[in-house]
Chains A and B, each alone.
Chain A
Amino acid sequence: MSSQSTGAPSHWDRTKSLLFKTLAIWIFLAFIIHWFGDALNGGAESFPGGYFMAGMGVQISFAILVFWFVTKQSQIDDEFGVSED
């Protein structure tokens, strides 16, 4: 815990905060959105939104989320000079 006493966030603090952001988006995509699947589907004639999210929307979002996370984490590693090579 000594790293926190210096004031500026450490590499691990930044990594943790990125993790929490990632997990927050993940919780939204994985759980919250499907709780409203029925409402998203709408009426008989409208676009089946709940079906779309469960069958395609969130999967594509997960993939984008992972690549976003990887880019951000690499930036943090570079900034603190702890990346490989």
Chain B
Amino acid sequence: MKLEGGFIKNLGRVYGVYTLGFLGFVIIMAILEQAGVSAEKIGWMFVGFTIAIYALIGILSRTMESGQYYVAGREVPAVYNGMATAADWMSGASFIAMAGGIYMNGYPYMAFLVGWTGGYVLVASLIAPYLRKFGCYTVPDFIGTRYGGNLARFCAVIVLVMASFTYVTAQINGTGTVAARMLDIPFEWGVWVGLSGILACSMLGGMRAVTWTQVAQYIVLIVAYLIPVFWMSNKLGYGMIPHLAQFDAVLAVQELEQLHNLGAAVDPAAQAAAGKLKALSVGINDASDTLMAKWKFFTLVLCMMLGTASLPHVLMRYFTTASVKAARQSVGWSLVFICLLYLTAPALATFTKLSLLDPNLATGIIGKSFADAQSLEWVQKWTSAGFLKLVDGNGDGLLQLQEFFMNGQIVVLATPEIAGLPYVISGLVAAGGLAAAMSTADGLLLAIANALSHDLYYKIIDPKADSGKRLVVARILLLAIGAAGAYVAAQKLTGILGAVAWAFCFANSGLFFPLVLGIWWKRANRAGAIAGMIGGLAAGTAYLYAIKWGGMDPWLGIDHLRFGMIGMPVSLILMVVVSKATEAPDEETMKMVDSIRIPKGEVVQNN
């Protein structure tokens, strides 16, 4: 493929054709469905076609140049980097679990929506443009050079690996879940199928390949997320634009919640039969006025925001722009593309709830005959998959809200079926979930492998290694970490969402203050940074261990999703106190900090 003026100049055309091609593919699938092709075959084609496209982009973007491999040649335009960041950012958790979380937990869960967007204000104003000017390849590269010494660099690598590895197992788990469902193979195999797709995108071309596949994956995931919601909003007659229509729907749902006695006790025997699945028990919009509820909202928002601003796989995306100014603008674009999906999640949750609860709708099965609901095709399918369980606890032959047990994840995956949309939409949604999980997994695996190859191997172990050797090491590490991630994911240790929140807390406990103070406080020195990284990470991890496995009661409602509330203050205090107690950084470091504070001039670090 040879384009006049090069690839970068023709991005609009390339991705325009790609988007039209993808929509064409969806239409062909819809026609095939009408022609009687089975749902299973359509599922295979969706997964096969999209993975093949990503792999093709990955192979076309292969490179042996380290600037291309680590930072995509620093030539990615701000808007496209925004799109790639949005795909990098929105994981399987955002795509599959978020709307379900809002469905099951209502208002308090929207703290995630606030935290995962507001963090970008910090990325834009505190960190990203300065790291771009610094010119590093990896986040530990900044820590290692700003504070000096291998120990500081090594600590940053540890935090990065802990946060990113926790996160990546959740993503590989997500790809495994979708692949297993669509291809009808065991989950353990699905994990390895997902991993091979992920590695096909990143092995040969590093950051360059990941950037261009992430843009492609963003397009697939956003189309897949928006179409069903627009469809439902129009079908239910609430209006053209679901985002505006949802507020009327919220009021309607609140009335229906009273009709169905939301909050009534669940029969213990029925709950026992349903196992871990839950009946809806929280109102859609209970913004409680208790101090504890407000505090929990506040702490979750804070942990997610500061985690956003310290997760290396996100920060490293801004190393790929052509200038400092472009890096800043790119943060704004990232937020725009992220909001396109995030603002849709509450609407999706609301319309799904309305579809199930409204007795005037054919889809509204709550409050109607238990036997009829039990015989629905989607109910049977998701029940046999273990995501849904209907138990007629009081034996009255009707399906009460307290007798409908589900796993929140099916809100996104099963909504097309619940709302009675054609199967092609289910295939599209699955392809979107796969794209979301794959793109995040790619960014995370690359962040880990690059830190280990660049910071641990090249900067600490073998500084004389030539660029060819470094890239071979980087690829071997990528393969090894991917395999380790898939192995851990196959053990199913944590749920998708728990693992994601932990990654944020590991990152903010260990890296937030060393990064921010490295730029904004000249007096911050090596001893302080090391104390901040080790102390923060150790305090946060010890607290997590104590409340999760040690049997300790959480302090002040700071549960395992928010353990950064312990790690962060420890990190800040240690960093300030130890920095003050030890010698100020030398003149050279001061000059380096000065030079990253202005966009003009050469980058500090030339690899």
- Where the two chains meet, the residues of A that have a C-beta atom closer than 8 Å to any C-beta of B are 11-12, 15, 18-19, 22-23, 26, 29-31, 34-35, 37-41, 44-45, 47-48, 50-52, 54-56, 58-60, 62-63, 65-67, 69-70, 73-74, 77, 80-85
A45 in contact with B251 given A59-B342, A63-B336, A66-B332 (CB within 8 Å): yes
Q: Is B371 an interface residue (CB 8 A)?
A: no
Contacting pair A30 B118 (CB below 8 A): yes
Which chain B residues numbered 271 to 329 have a C-beta less than 8 Å away from chain A? Answer: 284-285, 287-289, 294, 297-298, 301-302, 305, 323-325, 328-329
Binary contact track B102-122/A, C-beta < 8 Å → 1, others 0: 100001001101110110111
The CA of A52 and the CA of B125, in the complex, are separated in Å by 26
Q: A44 to B335, Cβ gap below 8 A?
A: no
A37 contact set on B, CB distance < 8 A: 107, 287, 294, 297
Enumerate chain A residues within 8 angstroms of B246, measured Cβ to Cβ.
55
Instruction: Give A73 to B297 CA distance when docked, in angstroms.
Output: 31
Given contacts A50-B107, A69-B125, A70-B328, contact A34 B254 (CB under 8 A): no
Answer whether residue B126 sits at the interface, using C-beta atoms and an 8 A cutoff.
Answer: yes
Other-chain residue from B126, B289, B331 in contact with A38 (beta carbon distance below 8 A): B289
Q: Once bound together, how far apart are the Cα atoms of A39 and B294, in whole Å?
A: 12
Q: Judge whether A52 and B110 touch: CB under 8 Å.
A: no
Number of B residues whose C-beta is below 8 Å from A?
A: 51
Q: How many A-B residue pairs have CB under 8 A?
A: 143
Q: In the bound complex, how far is the Cα of B501 from the Cα of A9, in angstroms?
A: 41
Instruction: List, in ascending order, chain B residues with CB within 8 A of A74's CB.
Output: 325, 328
**B125:A48 contact, CB within 8 angstroms:** no
Answer whether A38 and B117 are a contact pair too, CB < 8 Å, given A47-B247, A83-B325.
no
Q: Which residue of A lies closest to B597 (CB)?
A: A12
**Chain A residues within an 8 Å CB radius of B243:** 56
Instruction: Output the least CB separation between B369 and chain A (Å).
Output: 30
Q: Is the CB of B247 within 8 A of A66?
A: no
- B121 and A26 contacting across the interface, CB-CB below 8 Å: yes
State the CA gap A31–B117 with chains docked (Å).
Answer: 13
- Which 10 residue pairs across A and B have the least CB separation, nearest first? A37-B287, A55-B346, A54-B110, A82-B598, A38-B289, A66-B332, A50-B287, A38-B287, A30-B118, A82-B600
Does B183 touch A at the CB level, under 8 Å?
A: no
| B124 contacts the other chain (CB 8 A) | yes
A22 touching B287 in the complex, CB below 8 Å, given contacts A11-B598, A62-B118: no
B332: A residues at CB distance < 8 A: 63, 66-67, 70
Q: A30-B121, A44-B251, A82-B600 are in contact. List 18 more A-B contacts (CB 8 A).
A: A18-B125, A22-B125, A23-B125, A26-B118, A31-B298, A34-B111, A40-B287, A45-B251, A48-B247, A50-B285, A63-B336, A66-B121, A66-B335, A69-B121, A73-B129, A73-B328, A82-B598, A84-B325
On B, residues with C-beta under 8 Å from A are: 102, 107, 110-111, 113-115, 117-118, 120-122, 124-126, 129, 243, 246-247, 250-251, 254, 284-285, 287-289, 294, 297-298, 301-302, 305, 323-325, 328-329, 331-332, 335-336, 339, 342-343, 345-346, 597-600
Residues of A within 8 A of B129 (CB): 73
Q: Give the shortest distance, in Å, between B515 (CB) and chain A (any CB).
A: 15
Q: Is the CB of A65 within 8 A of B113?
A: no
Return chain A residues, CB-CB under 8 Å to B118: 26, 29-30, 58, 62
Q: How far is the CB of A30 from chain B (nearest CB, A)?
A: 4
A73 to B346, CA, bound (A): 33
A22-B332 Cα distance, complex, nearest whole Å: 14
Given the complex, which residues of A lie within 8 Å of B120, measured CB to CB? 62, 66
Q: Which of A40, A50, A65 contacts B121 (CB 8 A)?
A: A65
The residue on A at minimum CB distance from B297 is: A34
Q: Given A48-B250, A70-B328: A41 and B114 within 8 A (CB)?
A: no
Is the beta-carbon distance between A84 and B600 smaller than 8 angstroms? yes
Q: How far is the CA of A70 from the CA of B323 in the complex (A)?
A: 13
Q: Could you say which of A22, A34, A85 contacts B114, with CB atoms under 8 Å apart?
A: A34
Q: Do A51 and B600 touch (CB < 8 A)?
A: no
Contact, CB under 8 Å: A34 / B329: no
Nearest Cβ distance between residue B86 and chain A, in whole angstroms? Answer: 12
Q: Is the CB of B335 within 8 A of A63?
A: yes
